[in-house]
Structure 1
C-alpha cells in the first residue's frame, strides 16, 4: 500500500507540460528516491484522466487494454510502499461524482490522498489558452475569444479548466485541508526551475542533481505566428479539421515549421478586457486566502501579468503574415506564393495532404 498518493489535477496552461516532462524524464531517478509515476509513459495518465472524467471522444476509441488504464494505475499504487504521483490537467474537467469515485479508488490504495492544483495568473493564461485552441484547429479571433470567456459562453470550455475555486471544490470533498496543495506559478522574472522546486516541496522530494533544462522544443507562438495559424485554419473546411489534422498541426507543423517563422513579440490584453481580468483575479485571490489550504508560493502572483509592450493579433499586418508564411513555405520545401491568400491555401493543402498520408 502506498504511503501517499498525490493527484495533480491541473489547471491547464499552468506549467503542467513542463512539470510532466521533467517527472517522466526522471522517472527512474524519482523511483529510486521513493516517488512512483505509475504506468509506462505520460500517455497512460492522459488515458486514465479521460476514463475518470468520461471523455467520450477519447474513451470511445480505446481498446480493451487501455480501458483498464486507471485501474492499473491504482493497482500499481497499492503495490508500492512509497509515494505515488498521477498528473494530468484533464482531471480538472471532471464531474463531482466521478472525482469522488476516483479519490475513493486512491484512498483504497494509499494511506493518504493529496490533491495538487497548479495555478497561473489569468493575464498569461488567456493568450496561452487561445493559442492552444488555435493549435487544435480553432478559427475564433483572439478578441472574440476574450469576449466569449468574459461572458462565460461559447464552446471554449475555458472555465471548466481554469475556475480554480470550482476545481478545488470538486476535488477536495472529504480531503483534509492540509492535504490540499495549491502551487502558484511564479510571476515573470522568477528562475526557470522555481515551479519545479515548488512542486518538489509539496511532494517532499529531493530533486538535487536532476536536470531541469527542457528537452522538448518550446512550441509557444508569437503573435504573428499564432495569427498565421488561425488564418490557415480558416482556410481548412470544417469537415477536414479532424482530430488527425489537429494532432499533425500541434505535434509536427507547429514545432517543426511554424515556430521561429516571425520575430517574437508578446500578447497584449485589450484595454476593454483589463478590468474584468483584474477583478476576477482579485476575487479568486480573496477566496483562496480564506481557505486553509497549503499554498506554495505567493497568492499575489495570481494577479494578472499584462505585457506593456505587447500586441493583439488583429494588429498584425498582412505584410508580416506574408513574410512568416514565406518562411514556412520554404521550410516545407514548397514554392513561394505571391500573395497571402495563395500562401495560406498552399500551407493548408500541405497540412491536409500530410494528415491523409500519415493517417494520424
Structure 2
C-alpha cells in the first residue's frame, strides 16, 4: 500500500507543464527512489482529473477513457512507497470530489501540492491560454462564466488560489497543503521550482534532470488579439483534439504567429477583482496554517501601469501580424506539400509504378503535429 500520495493540482499556468516534463522525464529514477508516477503515459493524469470531477466531456475524449482515475488508484495502492499524481485540472474539484480522492487511499497520508502565482499575472495568462484553446471573448469578459462548476477548467474555481485552498483545505489538513509561489514574469530559474517540488516529496535534485526552459510559449499583445479574432471566424474546430492540435499547438505555440512578447493588462474593473482575490489568498496563507514552500512576496500583485490593453491594438498592427502569420503558414504548406507528394511518389513506386491507383490518406495531421520550422 502506498505510504503517501501527493496530488499536484495546479494552478494552471504556474509551471505545471514544466514540472510534468520533469516528472515524466525522471519516471524511472523516481521509482528507484521509492516514488511512483502511475499511469501508462502522462495523458492518463489528465483523463483522471476529468474522471474524478465527473466531467461529462471525458466520454468524448479519444482513446481509452474507461475509469482512468481508478486505474491510477489501483496502481498506487499496489506500490510500496510514495505516489505523485499531477494535473492542473484537479484544482477545480468540489469538496465531495476531494473527499473521494482521499477515501481512495485508506491508510495513506494524502498531501496536496499547489503551484501558485500572483492573481493579476495569472488572470492575464489564463485569458491568453483560453484564447490559445479557441476562446473568443475579450479579456474583460474572462472567465466565460462567473458561477462555480467543478467541471469548468477555465472558470474562477480553476485558478482562484483562495477558492482552491478553501475547497481542498476543507478536506485535507492545512499542514499537508503545500503552496509553492513562483514569479509571474520571466527571469527566474525554473529549476528552483522543481527543487522546491522535490523537497516536498523529501527528495533532492541530484541525478534528477530538468529542462532549462519553461515549456509553454507566451504570446504578445498583438498576437493574442489576432488569434482571438481568428477564433471568432473558425468553424469545425469544436473538439478538444482540434483545439489542442491546431489552434493551440500549431497557431498558438507553433512559431507561426509573430513573437513580440509585449505584456498587457485587463481593464481597471478586472484588475481590481484580481487584486481582491489575490489579497484573500495571501491572508489565508498568512493565517490558516498552510505550508508555504518559498517566498510569499512572489504572490503580491504586479504593477501593470504603462501596459496596453488589447483594445489599444491598432488595425495596422493586426494587419502586419496577420501578414507575417500568413507568410509563415504558406512556407509550412509548401514544405508539407512537398513531403506529402514525395510520400505519394514513394508509395506509387512500391505499389506498381506510375500507372497504379493508390489510395493514401493525406499525412497532414502527422506532419503538422508539433511542427517547428
Contact (CA 8 Å) 1:257, 1:332: kept in 2 or not? no
Q: Which runs of 5+ in 2 are unaligned?
A: 333-363, 369-373
| Equivalent residues, number | 333
Match in the other structure for 2:47: 47
Contact (CA 8 Å) 1:44, 1:69: kept in 2 or not? yes
SS at match of 1:84: strand
Match in the other structure for 1:297: 294
Equivalent residue in structure 1 for 2:201, among 200, 203, 206? 203
Match in the other structure for 1:350: none
Partner Cα separation in structure 1 for residue 254 and residue 271 of structure 2: 34
The worse-fitting range, judged by mean Cα deviation, of 50-59 and 25-34 is: 25-34
SS at match of 1:333: helix
SS at match of 2:103: helix
Match in the other structure for 2:121: 124
Any residues of structure 2 matched to 1:1-360 within 5 Å, and which?
1-61=1-61, 65-107=64-106, 111-145=108-142, 157-186=154-183, 188=185, 189-214=187-212, 218-237=216-235, 240-247=237-244, 248-259=246-257, 261-333=258-330
The worse-fitting range, judged by mean Cα deviation, of 43-52 and 161-170 is: 161-170
Partner Cα separation in structure 1 for residue 182 and residue 242 of structure 2: 32
Partner Cα separation in structure 1 for residue 80 and residue 115 of structure 2: 26
Deviation readout 1:185-228 (Å, 9 max, x if unpaired): 23544333222122111111221243322578532111111111
Contact (CA 8 Å) 2:25, 2:209: kept in 1 or not? no
Larger radius of gyration: 2
SS at match of 1:6: strand
Partner Cα separation in structure 2 for residue 205 and residue 129 of structure 1: 31
Q: What's the offset of the Cα at 1:230?
A: 0.6
TM-score by length of 1: 0.82
Q: 1:47 to 1:244 in 2, by over 3 A?
A: closer
Q: 1:86 to 1:332 in 2, by over 3 A?
A: same
Deviation readout 1:148-202 (Å, 9 max, x if unpaired): 78x7699884211023233223323443332221221235443332221221111
Q: What's the offset of the Cα at 1:276?
A: 3.6
Contact (CA 8 Å) 1:285, 1:300: kept in 2 or not? no
Q: What's the offset of the Cα at 1:61?
A: 4.6
Contact (CA 8 Å) 1:257, 1:328: kept in 2 or not? no
Q: 1:215 to 1:280 in 2, by over 3 A?
A: closer
SS at match of 2:114: strand
Deviation readout 1:8-34 (Å, 9 max, x if unpaired): 122222221111111112212222222
Q: Which runs of 5+ in 1 are unaligned?
A: 336-353
